[in-house]
Amino acid sequence: MNIKITECPRDAMQGLHDFVPTEIKAAYINLLLQVGFDTIDFGSFVSAKAIPQLQDTAEVLKKLDMNNTRSKLLAIIANYRGAEDAVKHKEITYLGYPFSISETFQLRNTNTTIPHAFENVKRIHELCISSGKKLLVYLSMGFGNPYGDEWNTGIIEKWTEQLTKQEIHHIALADTIGIAEAGQIASIYPDLCSKFPETEFGIHLHSTPDTWQPKIEAAYKSGCKRFDVALKGYGGCPMAADDLTGNIATENLLGYLQSQNESLGLNLTKFQEAMDYSGKVFG
């Protein structure tokens, strides 16, 4: 399978008001692990005050069965201390760091400036190397922002170049508030893939249910290899807006990729079980 799918229960759950019991979180993620996704974005090592829903990530991890899965685990971190906590767990492959190209959102999301955040990235990457982990950097606000900060494709390229100079080769553009347009995606990805051929570029889109397909198609046909999704389109970023714009629904992406004759190699029986079980998580 050339396309890598990251299922994101962490992103789907993080904005829920009512706390989901640890046992239910773990049971849901264990079903997702059996489907065969490339990666499961399962939790985060961040302040419980900031994201109370994910304060039990370490406890959830203890309950996950990694013996019968090909999936890798990804945990989100927002600072060096979180990275130190995450790298202690041998089951985790990827640490994901949200690096915003909007100064306003970087302050809002991780309480730090862009220059300070980049210093964090470099330190965290060194920690990942010494701990046998991989760092995936999300370029948050990758398609524009509502805050009036400067945005253009040159800024994306500038920071991609800075990241690759640090030997960071897993980068995903994140449409944090759901404003990306298909034409934008189609113009950005071919250029990045051509200029940085050793880098694996992903996309993390937030979208309304009726606007997902042109965006996914544009990314797919423009060389994007890694797609972040969540069952039934649950979730979004609680730091970006009060009214959450959901993730791309996994079932929609799978349907599109099948229409393109992509061989997914997923256990669709377990996928349906996870779809059915999701009601216990999300109500």
Taking only the tens place, the pLDDT of each residue in 68-101 is 999 999 999 999 999 999 999 999 999 999 999 9
- What is the C-alpha separation between 36 and 265, in angstroms, rounded? 7
User: For residue 208, what are the β-bridge partners?
Assistant: none
- Structural domain of residue 15, as residue ranges? 4-282
One digit per residue, pLDDT tens: the chain, 283 residues? 589 999 999 999 998 999 999 999 999 999 999 999 999 999 999 999 989 999 999 999 999 999 999 999 999 999 999 999 999 999 999 999 999 999 998 998 888 899 999 999 999 999 999 999 999 999 999 999 888 899 999 999 999 999 999 999 999 999 978 899 999 999 999 999 999 999 999 999 988 888 899 999 999 999 998 999 999 999 865 444 434 468 999 999 999 999 999 999 999 999 999 999 999 999 8
DSSP-based three-state secondary structure for 38: coil
142-181 per-residue burial string, b: 16 or more CB within 10 A, e: under 16: bbbbeeebebeeebbeebbeebeeeebbbbbbbbbbbebe
Q: What is the domain-level CATH number for residue 24?
A: 3.20.20.70
User: For residue 202, what are the β-bridge partners?
Assistant: 172, 226
Per the listing, tokens 């990306």 go with 180
Q: Which residues contact 256 (CB under 8 A, 6 or more apart)?
A: 213, 216, 217, 220
Q: Is 141 left (phi over 0), alpha (psi -120 to 50) or beta?
A: left
DSSP-based three-state secondary structure for 60: helix
Q: How many domains does the chain have?
A: 1
Give the DSSP H or E segment for 88: none
Q: Which residues contact 176 (CB under 8 A, 6 or more apart)?
A: 100, 105, 140, 141, 142, 145, 206, 237, 240
Nearest to 92 by CA among 76, 108, 109: 76
Global pTM reads 0.94
DSSP string, 121-165: HHHHHHHHHHHT-EEEEEEETBTB-SS-----HHHHHHHHHHHHH
- What is the C-alpha separation between 153 and 171, in angstroms, rounded? 15
